[in-house]
Amino acid sequence: MTVSRILMCRNHPVLEFEYFPYAGYALGCREIYDKRRVPLGMYVDGKPEPSGESITRWWRGRGIPITRDGLSAVLGASGMPSTTEMLDRSLGLSLSDQYWVRPAEMDDLQWDTINFFHNDFDERLGSALFFGNSSKIVDVNTPDVTSAGDLPKRWVIGADGTRKLIKAGRTGQEPDNERIAFLTAGLFGISHLEYKIGHTRGVRVSVCDEMLSDREELVPGGQIMNIFRQGGPKERKDIWIEACTRLGAGKEEITRATDDSLFLDFLLRNTDRHYSNFGLIRDVETFEIRPAPLFDSGASLWNGMDPDCIDNSDYPSKPFWIDDYGDANCAYWQLSLISEWDRFDLSLLDQVPDMVKDQLSGNRRIPADVVDSIATTLKERGSIIRKAREKTAGGLSAGIGAMPLRQAATAKSCLHTESQSNGGEVVLEDPDPAQITMSLKSISTGPSLS
């Protein structure tokens, strides 16, 4: 039996589609009410004309990825066969955009009374996913149903009402890397979401505030890259900038934001700037659009690597890789894509190793020899960046990829270690002696499709 669903953006009806709830897929789009607000992830051939396949892909992609730590235990305990059923029950509400799906017969539902930006949500599912305590699942009325990524994370409501995302790691270094990326970005005038370090039941975590207002959406880079033209691997940066400008972003603004990302990711050796880890922020009422601040930089600074593997050899990097599958070493090539070097005060590079060492030294799970190796290798990395700048100024940017101080052939194979996390109340560590304790709510409210 199929049912009719209305895709909403805040209180704006966007489109109606035929849905088969038992299998979790859309059979087709019945009617489009507002083409301007059709999600980019539903576009077909660059046009806001969704098919059943594109609606299904967007809807399923909205759920928790099956690779999320702790998800299988939660699904087993809840009796729900898939994350798609969680989406159905939660209306697909999110803190990453303003979309939700309304049963066609429930026209009395209003965004103002159910959205997570202003209304309380149940924190128990997030707690179960984060801590592995699946017996406490009661409700799926929570933005954790639509949170992306593999690492343990959960949304909470702070004592002042601010929505906060708590995220752990697998090696124990990721939270500090997030904090370091924010501090380093600030040093160079780069926009980066602020992360603080916290603890929850003995587990080190990063904590950040919601970065959107109640009328904004985060449009992931992957949705933007796929809607207009295709091209070869080495055209990816050009395709990205062209797509953003066609959506209304200023070319100079998006070019500078892209340079910022390339610069910071190379400096801190971030290996995971995939297409869901950057994007644009759009106002869904005015359609004004701007680059999102950088976020999710936890896979930086040789995270989880053995000290003997920490070097400055080339490595596979994202998002503008040079082969079809992202397996080829390309970090130095990506560095050569920076357009405006004069914006970066390279004299500040000398401050980064000590700043990184200070932050990582506060994490007792990271051995001192690893911290020292990271700081030493970062000093070399500053010299590499200066040489890249000189070569670009001399019109030789194509040769930057051959610049590693240590040849890739000498790089050792490095393994990442994993650790399970456990948690609860969160205490933030601030740069000053003051500490903030977040009072977490656990309130079950809101409608459900079940």
| Domain ranges (residues) in the chain | 216-410
Mean pLDDT of 11-27: 92
Among candidate residues 231, 224, 265, the one with its CA nearest the CA of residue 248:
224
Residue 298, pLDDT > 50, answer yes
- The C-alpha atoms of residue 274 and residue 269 are separated, in whole angstroms, by 14
- The C-alpha atoms of residue 395 and residue 95 are separated, in whole angstroms, by 45
Q: How confident is the model at residue 395 (pLDDT cuts 50, 70, 90)?
A: low
Report which of residues 86 and 252 the model is more confident about: 252
Among candidate residues 358, 368, 375, the one with its CA nearest the CA of residue 301:
375
Q: How confident is the model at residue 77 (pLDDT cuts 50, 70, 90)?
A: low
The confidence score (pLDDT) of residue 67 equals 76
Mean pLDDT of 73-92: 78
- CATH level 3 topology of 216-410: 1.10.1070
Maximum Cα interatomic distance, the chain, rounded to a whole number of Å:
66
Question: What are residue 72's DSSP bridge partners?
Answer: none
Report which of residues 438 and 92 the model is more confident about: 92
The confidence score (pLDDT) of residue 73 equals 72
For residue 139, give both structure tokens. Answer: 């409700």
Cβ pair 422, 201 in contact under 8 A: yes
Residue 254, pLDDT > 90, answer yes
Residue 237, pLDDT > 90, answer yes
The confidence score (pLDDT) of residue 76 equals 66
Residue 206, pLDDT > 90, answer yes
The confidence score (pLDDT) of residue 93 equals 96
Residue 74, pLDDT > 80, answer no
The one-letter amino acid at 176: D
Cβ pair 160, 428 in contact under 8 A: no
Q: What are phi and psi of 323, to 5 degrees?
A: -125, -175
> Tens of pLDDT along 359-370?
999 999 999 999
The confidence score (pLDDT) of residue 413 equals 35
Residue 199, pLDDT > 60, answer yes
* Contact partners, residue 190, CB within 8 Å, separation at least 6: 184, 260, 263, 264, 294
> Tens of pLDDT along 102-157?
999 999 999 999 999 999 998 888 888 888 776 556 578 899 999 988 888 999 99
The confidence score (pLDDT) of residue 438 equals 38
> Tens of pLDDT along 417-446?
333 333 345 676 644 333 333 333 332 333
The confidence score (pLDDT) of residue 398 equals 41
The confidence score (pLDDT) of residue 429 equals 60
Mean pLDDT of 75-87: 73
350-354, Cβ contacts within 8 angstroms, sequence gap of 24 or more: 350/382, 351/187, 352/184, 352/187, 352/267, 352/378, 352/382, 353/378, 353/379, 353/382
The confidence score (pLDDT) of residue 444 equals 31
The confidence score (pLDDT) of residue 412 equals 36
The confidence score (pLDDT) of residue 146 equals 92
The one-letter amino acid at 215: R
- The C-alpha atoms of residue 62 and residue 427 are separated, in whole angstroms, by 30
